[in-house]
Chain A
């Protein structure tokens, strides 16, 4: 369960940063980038609190 949460958090972070580089190289619009960033933000904050700051 913990590994799955970490994976989802990672996807959240990737969704936050990767699309901006796609905008930079001209294969994505800025509006789509903004939309995916919101998705990444929700995914990060919905999953990270369940594994960050927790002792193994």
Chain B
């Protein structure tokens, strides 16, 4: 009986994947504030801040690079994603299908879902480092790519199972939990860093800048790590969520916004979350390195536990959980767009299983900076396609939503924009050694130009030859 009740409840989860969100279902700005603050005060922040330290970023690089990069990210959400989200009020996948056609969108959705699974997997792995503390779990090191114990596998599977079950109940539950957890989580991040400052030699505010330079962000990378500069930090901060803003994945979230400018609410995530949390976790890691004589063990759970006790460990678990949830939800939407008749909860269950499998591999954590930049880069070209289709294509007297207008299942222009942009990025990387963090910006212009030029030739030919 109870089982039937739960199934009915899950079947009733309505997320408007195949139609515009009705006015009655729009959400207030507070909902987005909590969602963004919670989502970007995540388990991965406990990895990113320390990796900046490991890569030898200086205090100036951190303070200014994060300020500029996060500001650019907020502006991208507000001026690029928000206006299209409230105008169309459909998911990225639904809109993309009208532009690119079913076949290309299917490929995109599969790639997208896989990327989201890996991302959520890294968050689950981070949470597992805290879950494993009471069991004396052997933690992974910076050089580990594969699981180093059965205990590690058990811990990530347990966290993955809980995360998946919550995500199966849909966006509302995720949003509510993120809302409740986020104010507390942000304060724990801040509190844990403030409390350990004396142990790093900071006894008053006037000490901070000197210790920031000579003890925390020293400008010297750890052995085997590349050197980061202001530009690395700035571009990473801007493009850490490139798939969400410039890549338009957050159309799926902001379509619930009453006004376009709710995109500015991402500032809660970028500044309370990324800016503060990355600095705070960097401070905690600097203390860990000092106390362990630069150990290569890399486990956010014990680092947070050392600074803030049980509250710190709980933060790592919950921070990972609240971010993995919407990420799994997004991956579910991507897959459901391929087979709309599949129930949301069943798709989410499958996605959760893939995510949990991925999270078993610590490589996702150790190479997180590169992975995050790569995932944004891979998904970004379709965001450029949507932007061009929305604003520039009509100005060229071409038809918007090509696949829908011409009843096509494959838009060659979008495929060229996506594929050639990625080839161009690989060429820049291999030929000139341009790092993955810097490929997104030139890639966006290349994708936009390719889409416009190819669309022009395809649609002009159609008009000349008569619409089939």
Q: Which A residues lie at the B interface, using CB under 8 A?
A: 12-13, 16-17, 19-21, 23-24, 26, 30-31, 33-35, 37-38, 40-41, 44-45, 48-49, 52-53
Contacts and interface: CB of A to CB of B under 8 A. Distances in A.
Interface residues on B, range: 20 to 34
Interface in B172-206: 176, 179-180, 183-184, 187-188, 190-192, 194-198, 202-203
Nearest to A41: B311
Which secondary structure dominates chain A's binding surface? Answer: helix
Contacts of B308: 33-34, 37
A48 B177 CA distance: 10
Contact of B194 (A23, A44, A45, A52): A23
Given A34-B311, A37-B309, A49-B180, A16 B188 contact: yes
Contacts of A45: 180, 184
A49 B212 CA distance: 38
Given A38-B310, A38-B311, A23 B198 contact: yes
A48 B180 contact: yes
Given A13-B187, A49-B180, A53-B180, A24 B311 contact: no
A51 to B, nearest CB: 10
A13 B203 CA distance: 24
Contacts of B191: 16-17, 19-20, 33, 37
B195 A33 contact: yes
B51 interface: no
Nearest to B176: A53
Most buried by B among A21, A34, A38, A45: A34
Contact of B311 (A31, A40, A53): A40
B233 to A, nearest CB: 26
B328 interface: no
Contacts of B197: 24
Interface centre among A12, A20, A35, by most chain B C-beta atoms within 10 angstroms, is A20
Contact of A17 (B180, B187, B203, B312): B187
Nearest to A53: B176
A19 to B, nearest CB: 7
Contact of A34 (B180, B183, B194, B310): B310
Interface string B290-324: 00000000000000000011111010000000000
Contacts of A49: 180
28 contacts: A13-B183, A13-B187, A16-B184, A19-B195, A20-B190, A21-B194, A23-B195, A24-B194, A26-B198, A30-B196, A33-B195, A34-B309, A34-B310, A34-B311, A34-B312, A37-B188, A37-B308, A37-B312, A40-B184, A40-B311, A41-B310, A41-B314, A45-B180, A48-B180, A52-B179, A52-B180, A53-B176, A53-B179
